[in-house]
A and B are shown apart, each in its own frame.
Chain A
């Protein structure tokens, strides 16, 4: 039971990332009808927002201490980040909390990136076949990746979580097991809660605002909504920007878990597509559910007990599920009948 719980938790944080990316992918596919192979790149760009923010904060001023000398007689150089010099304690706090704080940077940046992408490129592919959409966004993903590689290098850049949220918490203790049985990194808990909040926010937005209502109607029946004289184009742009922000935020908060590099987006993209398909093309709850489900399945498949029975299952479980779903129930777990089904 304890092992079960631990594996469940282990699967959830990755599942959270899958769910967030898949949510955006589905939102874009459901409303705009576009298959976006550059969506993983948005996740990666979010992560690099966090890195940029951290780099900006860590810019240091070098000052020479007038009184002290180094042991070998030269003046002592004191390095201090500008933010600390300017803002004192708050600056220190900000530096410590740079990962969550970079959300504030990531939201506008990702929204702008999403806006530019949709207006500049995606818009022209609404009526092109899916194959063309895949190809052009695939090309875009390569371009963005390469630009990031030129700017930040090819190596992963580790980010650290705030001091108070580092380390592991003994969750088992809270649940009444013996100490040391279910120990779980705090930041992953934070990620999980964060993913939940973002998902809830997106759903609330779609559920309770007029804008969201139109978007949902558009997902159900695009033509009719267009006929109602609603300016669907402008809403498409906003939907795309929202999806970009969601993917970006997923990326920002994931940085302490996985040091980002320029091609992390592609790795996540393939899996997120599988998630979308398993959940059902065009179904938002499906995307979220499948994201968590596959995260958990993957975590269980990597248990030694399972691997002993089915060697290598941890490597293929997600793809295997996707294949089975596609063959048995092509509309996915929660997809509507007839959406991309044949």
Chain B
């Protein structure tokens, strides 16, 4: 990595990235994704996947329980709204801290094992959290109904104002909905990306890649892999908590289903789709999945008919019939198929595809940076 990276280059990447994120409302509009609600989701899940990638992409430890940290972040944020007031900043900070502590506890235990056993341990902890949030922890989580901010809550710092109107978090008088909500998340995403970029380029980052590559050699090189993996686990848990709190910025509601293992599975899908171990991949994966979820699921037969209206009738009907399997309710089918294709043919995800294409055009056979960082799938 040191060969092809330089501070100047990273700065350029970072500036382009930041500019791209901030202008998303403009350039995503033509594909129908230019509305704040979806953009905010892109930013939040991008952050979630970026954090997950710091663990899985670098160390190769596949956690199937990251949704638990997302949930903890959400619950903490809502409690912060309830007790302290609707300012998102304490909510975000407290959520990161709470998720970090939670991740420290779970990581400390789970990291005693590696490989599939680690995956199952994290899965077990997340499922326990989910089940408990639904049942005995109801006083904290409000069970099935989900936790929301009520008018009667103390809200120490702003109980006086906002007697009427919808309950939305407010930063310096700006309500965090619509584009304000998106830009708040976008700024945090950019900060999160910056930190991830630094970790990738740091001595710590290379140690994490050493964990994935050869733990035995690492141990005999005078390095203890455990605190490295634990630190990565906690950091990625904090990212998840951060994402969880942002989910509550515009809609201050936290439900247990956010902790279910399918949600953990989703972030795995995002990271792999985009390209684990690359900086940009997880963000692409998150964007793609959220885009599918929102745009593809809204397609119906009529939209399809209008898209394929150029076809002669005898062709149009079967084509629309076939396509309708993959959109609307069936968007997850598209996702599943896409995911399988990626795992089978492009284990490095979209980023590997991009770099292969790039090489094709350039005609050079040098492996690119994206290729190098790719999931050479957990060295077990």
Contacts and interface: CB of A to CB of B under 8 A. Distances in A.
Interface of A: 35, 121, 124, 128-132, 134-136, 138-143, 145-147, 149-150, 154, 266, 270, 273-274, 277, 311-312, 315-316, 319-320, 322-323, 326-327, 330, 340, 342
B335 interface: yes
A132 B343 contact: yes
Given A319-B125, A326-B120, A131 B62 contact: yes
A40 to B, nearest CB: 12
A124 B344 contact: yes
Interface in B328-380: 329-330, 332-333, 335-337, 339-340, 343-344, 347, 375, 377-380
B336 A143 contact: yes
B272 A150 contact: no
B16 interface: no
A271 to B, nearest CB: 9
Contacts of B268: 135, 138
Contacts of A128: 377
A134 B340 CA distance: 11
B132 A146 contact: no
A35 B112 CA distance: 21
Contact of A323 (B62, B109, B114): B109
B121 interface: yes
A130 B380 contact: yes
Contacts of A322: 120-121, 124
A315 B256 CA distance: 14
Contact of A150 (B127, B333, B340): B333
A135 B271 CA distance: 11
Nearest to A315: B131
A132 B347 contact: yes
Identify the 9 closest CB pairs spanning chains A and B, nearest first. Answer: A142-B336, A312-B136, A315-B131, A146-B333, A143-B336, A139-B340, A319-B124, A129-B377, A139-B339
Contacts of B336: 139-143, 145-146
B337 to A, nearest CB: 6
A130 B125 contact: no
A50 B379 CA distance: 42
A154 B329 CA distance: 10
Q: Is the interface of B mostly helix, strand, loop or mixed?
A: helix
B262 interface: yes
A35 B335 CA distance: 21
B121 A323 contact: yes
Interface in B249-290: 261-262, 265, 268, 272
Contacts of A320: 124, 128
B247 interface: no
A329 B265 CA distance: 27
A149 B20 CA distance: 38
B120 A273 contact: yes
A78 to B, nearest CB: 35
B325 interface: yes
Contact of B116 (A130, A150, A154, A315): A130
